Amino acid sequence: MNDVLVIAGKPPRYDQARIPGLFLIAVVALLTACGGESKTTFDDLGVNRTAFNWYLPDSAPLPVEPEINPMTEAKFQLGRHLFYDRRLSGNGTQSCADCHQQSIGFTDGLAVSVGSTGELHPRNAQPLLNVAYNATLTWGNPSLRTLEQQILVPLFGEFPVEQGINDGNQEQILERLRDESRYQELFPDAFPEQGDPIDYNNIVFALASFVRGMVSFNSDFDRYERGDSSALSASAKRGRQLFFGEDMECFHCHGGYNFSDSTFDRTQTFIERPFHNTGLFNINGTGAFPENNRGVFEVTEDPSDMGKFRAPTLRNIALTAPYMHDGSMNSLEDVIEFYAAGGRNIESGPNAGDGRFNPFKDGFVTGFEVTNQEKADLIAFLNSLTDETYLANDRFSNPWSTP
């Protein structure tokens, strides 16, 4: 018998996913009891009670920690090992890191990702950095608001299969982990009050802790904002002015310290979770997107939600091509030209239609004039958002490849 995690009253697909297995009922119930919201524990001075070191500059706000899964270094390190472990897949061939590679900003360089059984995901792998600040997870599901919820999808989802854990191989996978000597120490260290801590609840909580701890604020842009005027080239400084200007309006959807308007942290009282239709499609002039990739509409079935997707962070954007939710744009220049046109006109084929006139398109995607020099300046600024130290940080690297 397969149980389904129902989100917004609909059988989930894609980044909602269908989750099999009776053993998941306890996980789902625990997350549901918390309303899917992250909760933070503060003392009277507003200081987090956990001792976890986020390794953040003073200028960066602290992320929210869920009450059900407070951050600890032991859970972070366990999650790091699990993230890189291919034994945590049905056929033992794929790890989380195969779709999220550190050297390219924790993406995979593909238009759409490939699961452990060879099945294609309909969407592009988003980069994993500063995910702790995301108000929602995934491209198009407003209901997935915690990493503990979202991680169930790649592990146990069936449409498409990613890691491929299912009712038939659950115990076999746990036995693989129990046979690993490192886990015989890592699991008890992370969950010291449990007699037999190697289970899926703890796997989810450890993975969430690792991904939540993957933070990045050391790009050239960050150093410039902290007072180093030499950190940006003259071209990047001009691009910065263009990016935050009203003519191009990039900052409306990609603003703030995380370059996304879907951001929250401990300083915020009210949380916004916006999604945007950028005019990527307008099939037959009806506003439609391809049936397997229709954004928030797949959750709500509200026509006005057709083609709405979350604005991802632009941090490390120079490394994470191809772009857009379906990986359909190969370069930053392609993306700039798309927004300059105010949408995409597909002249022939099954998806033919002029996205510039999509009736559900966001009001900020209106198009603009841009010269070749301005494009070069804007790209120089986007390149300045790369954090080279993050890409080489041993804290986020593969622990299995070191002695």
Domain positions in the chain:
22-216, 220-389
* pLDDT at position 296: 97
pLDDT surpasses 70 at 16: no
Burial class of 339 by CB neighbour count within 10 A (0 to 12, 13 to 18, 19+): buried
Count how many residues are written for the chain.
403
For residue 389, the Cα-to-chain-centroid distance in whole angstroms is 20
Q: Is 305 helix (H, G, I), strand (E, B) or coil?
A: helix
pLDDT tens for 94-130 read: 999 999 999 999 999 999 999 999 999 999 999 999 9
Q: Is 375 helix (H, G, I), strand (E, B) or coil?
A: helix
Q: CA dihedral in degrees (355, 356, 361, 363; nearest 10)?
A: 160
The CATH architecture assigned to 220-389 reads Orthogonal Bundle (1.10)
pLDDT surpasses 60 at 329: yes
For residue 26, the Cα-to-chain-centroid distance in whole angstroms is 25
pLDDT surpasses 80 at 48: no
Nearest to 188 by CA among 178, 198, 176, 180: 198
Helical ranges in 213-307 per DSSP H: 220-225, 234-243, 297-300
For residue 216, the Cα-to-chain-centroid distance in whole angstroms is 14
CA 72, 73, 78, 82 torsion-angle sign: positive
Position 210 confidence tier, pLDDT thresholds 50, 70, 90: very high
Are the C-beta atoms of residues 239 and 232 closer than 8 Å to each other?
Answer: no
User: Greater confidence, 331 or 39?
Assistant: 331
Are the C-beta atoms of residues 153 and 211 closer than 8 Å to each other?
Answer: no
Where do we find the tokens 């998806």?
351
Nearest to 258 by CA among 191, 200, 310: 310
CA 330, 332, 334, 335 torsion-angle sign: positive
Same topology between domain 22-216 and domain 220-389:
yes
User: Measured between alpha carbons, how far is 347 from 362 in angstroms, rounded to an integer?
Assistant: 22
Q: Distances in Å between the alpha carbon of 111 and those of 131, 273, 323?
A: 21, 25, 8
* pLDDT at position 401: 81
pTM exceeds 0.75, yes or no: yes
* pLDDT at position 50: 64
Q: Distances in Å between the alpha carbon of 26 and those of 201, 238, 390?
A: 8, 53, 35
Give phi and psi for 281, each to the nearest 5. -135, 160
Are the C-beta atoms of residues 27 and 3 closer than 8 Å to each other?
Answer: no
Burial class of 96 by CB neighbour count within 10 A (0 to 12, 13 to 18, 19+): buried
* pLDDT at position 360: 97
pLDDT surpasses 60 at 34: no
User: Measured between alpha carbons, how far is 332 from 73 in angstroms, rounded to an integer?
Assistant: 37
What kind of fold does domain 22-216 have according to CATH? Cytochrome Bc1 Complex; Chain D, domain 2 (1.10.760)
Interior CA angle at 10 toward 9 and 12, to 5°?
130
Burial class of 390 by CB neighbour count within 10 A (0 to 12, 13 to 18, 19+): buried
User: Which stretch of 34-43, 219-228, 258-267, 372-381 has the lowest confidence by average pLDDT?
Assistant: 34-43
Amino acid at 114: V
Q: How many CB atoms lie within 10 A of CB 191?
A: 21
* pLDDT at position 154: 97
Q: What is the mean pLDDT of residues 38-53?
A: 50
As a whole number of Å, the end-to-end CA separation of the chain is 43
In the 8-state DSSP scheme, what is residue 127?
Answer: P
User: Measured between alpha carbons, how far is 289 from 4 in angstroms, rounded to an integer?
Assistant: 26
